[in-house]
């Protein structure tokens, strides 16, 4: 899976085709959508219009909360595939665990069937705390390939990343740029950007890559889409990494997964 991909949350369906096409032209090969984003149709059109071979694309979608459960998952997966116009996805994720509902294990068993049938080439989860991952690892046999969680310099998730590393689960960062809200103006980030003649967004993405995270920044602005993938030509040094590590505040922009139950 490419370490850097393109996310399409909050991109309306009728804009998704153009955004995905722009991203693919810029060199992205991994696209992250979800049933709840309501843009699987537009995303699929963008993939198709690119003319790229299916095997050169990496497509992720996610099962929405309302569909958790064994049979409903299988039905929801069929719908997602149909909307995307694909006959398999590269990665299928449980969007939120909804711990109080207690359905994520059954849901994941349906994921294992989709994996065994080759219709989801890999399976994983999103927004899982270690205790939910532990329960899943105990009750099922396919280790989730990754856990997609909120992660950015203000919420570095070091304990969770350590848990992932111990269990061979990759860490994927959602809202890697902190949704562009404030993080990109933080003086330490701006100073590192100046030092390397790069932008703050490039510095933050570079930090993720050097940490080993998979990242899926989102933008609908063509210049930013290009800027966000142009992060291979420089390296942050130890001093830069330490300055960004010091920004951790354990501050979430989104919900604590323990509180999301519908």
Nearest distance, CB of residue 214 and ligand NAD, angstroms: 11
**Is 227 one of the binding residues for ligand NAD (CB under 6 A)?**
yes
Tell me if 90 contacts ligand NAD by CB under 6 A.
no
State the catalytic residue, choosing from 28, 37, 108, 132: 37
177 touching ligand NAD, by CB under 6 A: yes
Phi, psi of 240 (to 5 degrees): -60, -45
Measure the CA–CA gap between 94 and 235, rounded to whole angstroms.
33
- When the beta carbons of 123 and 201 are compared against ligand NAD, the nearer one is 201
How many residues at the interface with ligand NAD, by CB under 6 A?
26
Please indicate if the annotation marks 95 as binding a ligand.
yes
Is residue 155 close enough to count as binding ligand NAD by CB under 6 A?
no
Residue 108 appears among annotated catalytic residues: no
Compute the 3-state secondary structure of the chain and give helix, strand, coil in percent, each to the nearest 5.
50, 15, 35
Helix locations, the chain, DSSP H: 13-26, 40-49, 70-84, 104-116, 130-139, 158-167, 187-196, 200-211, 222-229, 238-245
Q: Which is nearer to ligand NAD, 112 or 230 (CB)?
A: 230
Q: Is 60 helix (H, G, I), strand (E, B) or coil?
A: strand
Least Å distance, CB 86 to ligand NAD, is 17
CB of 10 to ligand NAD, least distance (A): 6
Position 115 contacts ligand NAD (CB under 6 A)? no
**Among residues 107, 103, 139, 138, which one has the least CA distance to residue 123?**
107
Q: Does 174 bind ligand NAD (CB under 6 A)?
A: yes
Per-residue burial over 137-173, b = 16 or more CB atoms within 10 Å of its CB, e = otherwise: eeebebebbbbbbbbbbbbbbeebbebbeeeebbbbb
β-strand pairing of 146-150 with 214-215? unpaired
Interface residue with ligand NAD, options 4, 7, 84, 160 (CB under 6 A): 7
Piece of the chain touching ligand NAD by CB under 6 A; list 42-50, 131-139, 159-167, 169-177: 169-177
49-57, 108-116, 223-231, 233-241 -> range binding ligand NAD (CB under 6 A): 223-231
**Residue 214: how many other CB atoms lie within 10 Å:** 24
How far apart CA 6 and CA 31 sit, in angstroms, is 5
40 or 239: CB nearest ligand NAD? 40
- Residues numbered 187 to 206 that lie near ligand NAD (CB under 6 A) are 199, 201
Annotated binding site: 95
Active-site residue set? 37
Annotated binding site for substrate: 95
Residues lying near ligand NAD in the complex (CB under 6 A): 7-9, 32, 95, 126-127, 148, 174-180, 184, 199, 201, 216-219, 224, 227-228, 254
């Amino acid at each position: 899976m490419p370490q850097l991909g393109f996310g399409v949350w909050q991109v309306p369906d009728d804009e998704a085709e153009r955004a995905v096409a722009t991203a693919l032209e810029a060199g992205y090969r991994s696209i992250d959508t979800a049933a709840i984003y309501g843009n699987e149709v537009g995303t699929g059109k963008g993939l198709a219009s690119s003319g790229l071979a299916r095997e050169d694309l990496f497509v992720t979608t996610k099962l929405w909360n309302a569909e958790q459960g064994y049979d409903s998952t299988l039905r929801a997966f069929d719908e997602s595939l149909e909307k995307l116009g694909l006959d398999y996805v590269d990665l299928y994720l449980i969007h939120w665990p909804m711990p109080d509902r207690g359905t994520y294990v059954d849901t994941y068993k349906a994921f294992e069937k989709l994996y065994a049938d080759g219709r989801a080439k890999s399976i994983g989860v999103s927004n899982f705390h270690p205790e939910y991952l532990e329960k899943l690892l105990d009750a099922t046999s396919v280790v989730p390939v990754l856990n997609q969680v909120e992660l950015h310099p203000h919420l570095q998730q070091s304990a969770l990343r350590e848990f992932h590393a111990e269990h061979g689960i990759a860490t994927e960062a959602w809202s890697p740029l902190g949704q562009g809200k404030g993080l990109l103006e933080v003086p330490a980030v701006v100073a590192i950007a100046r030092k390397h003649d790069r932008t703050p967004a490039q510095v933050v993405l570079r930090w993720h890559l050097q940490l080993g995270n998979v990242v899926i920044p989102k933008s609908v602005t063509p210049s930013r889409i290009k800027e966000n993938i142009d992060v291979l030509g420089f390296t942050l040094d130890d001093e830069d990494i330490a300055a960004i590590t010091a920004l951790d505040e354990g501050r979430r922009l989104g919900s604590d997964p323990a509180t999301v139950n519908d």
